[in-house]
Amino acid sequence: MKLLVMGGTGYVGRRVVEAAVGRGHAVTLFNRGQSDPDAFPGLECLHGDRTRDLSALHGREWDAVVDTSGYVPSVVGASARLLASAVGHYTFVSTLYVYADQTGRYIDESAPVSTLDDVTDETVTPQTVGPLKAASERAVAEALPGRALIPRCGTLVGPNDRNGRFTYWARRVARGGEVLAPVAPTTPVQVIDVRDLATWIVTASERGTSGTFNVAGPERPITMGTFLDAVKNATGSDARFTWVTADFLREQELSTAERLALFLWERGATANQLTNLNARAMPTLDVRHAVSAGLRHRPLAETVRDTLAWDRERPAGTEYRADLAPDHERSLLEAWHRWGAAVV
């Protein structure tokens, strides 16, 4: 199969390329050549800024395309319309945040999606990313009816986790000792290894699978308690989990990075966004449709171990987007024990 990957050096794109090359496919990348340009030196790379110049794609044909770098409908639509006559199959990687109800449980693909108040405004913010992705999905489906695959992805984890939320938990639990754990051990959690997503996308491209699919994992969500216990078992640590309440955390001065680290499920936290610190967490997706179409999930322990191995190779002093410093965690735990005693 001749495969075009829009992007190809980021978190999802990199894994799609690796999966496709591993299956013997001929892969072409299209990107600006600015982010890790030497990631795949043996592959053809076409350079261009998709927001204004798609000329490098003119006159070419591929069996399929995987679009991992589209965020706004005008740009995604232009790519889809151009490639409609040049490819047989188009995958547009979307997100769970397209769903209008961000509090639901086991949301299936028929659930309503968000819409834009102003369709002419394509500014990407934590509030508009969902509606913009939903509009982009429609642009692809209209350009390639019956030939478009739309995976709506849940929280992606694994090596190269640049967001750092999952990496934080793997590192922190591996270190052992008393661990500050947020809100409630019964909170549902869904995470999927980015490599499992990539493998499924390549397989679906090979088969010409079309339609919209929730892609998250595992098939039935685990709880935060189960998640942390699995990390503990995978790392062999002596971690002890101390569960603190949302009320307590609201009283603390936490930075955005610290909130992102603590709340694996939280959507794009900002400096003033503390209202979601509760046991509702993020929506959970019904993934049975994707599982029936071949989605498979590797053991969580494997993802933990591989993430830690990748993390150990990072340069000393690397900053994490999501992190809670050890000294601050200790002070929070001390405050929690005082706070709990005062409440009692």
Look at residue 212 and tell me if it is in a domain: no
What is the domain range of residue 175? 165-190+220-281+299-339
Look at residue 160 and tell me if it is in a domain: no
Residues 117 and 180 in one domain: no
Residues 45 and 110 in one domain: yes
Asked whether residue 238 carries a pLDDT value surpassing 90, the answer given is yes
Cβ–Cβ < 8 Å for 220, 158? no
Domain count, the chain: 2
Asked whether residue 266 carries a pLDDT value surpassing 70, the answer given is no
Asked whether residue 267 carries a pLDDT value surpassing 50, the answer given is no
Q: How many residues in total does the chain contain?
A: 344
Residues 243 and 321 in one domain: yes
Q: What CATH number did the domain enclosing 328 receive?
A: 3.90.25.10
Q: Give, to the nearest 10 degrees, the angle between helix 224-235 and helix 165-175.
A: 60
Rounded to an integer, the average pLDDT of 192-218 is 97
Residues 103 and 227 in one domain: no
Cβ–Cβ < 8 Å for 183, 67? no
The fraction of the chain above a pLDDT of 90, given in percent, is: 72
Cβ–Cβ < 8 Å for 27, 3? yes
- Pick from 21-25, 161-165, 221-225, 263-267 the range whose average pLDDT is largest: 21-25
Rounded to an integer, the average pLDDT of 239-260 is 87
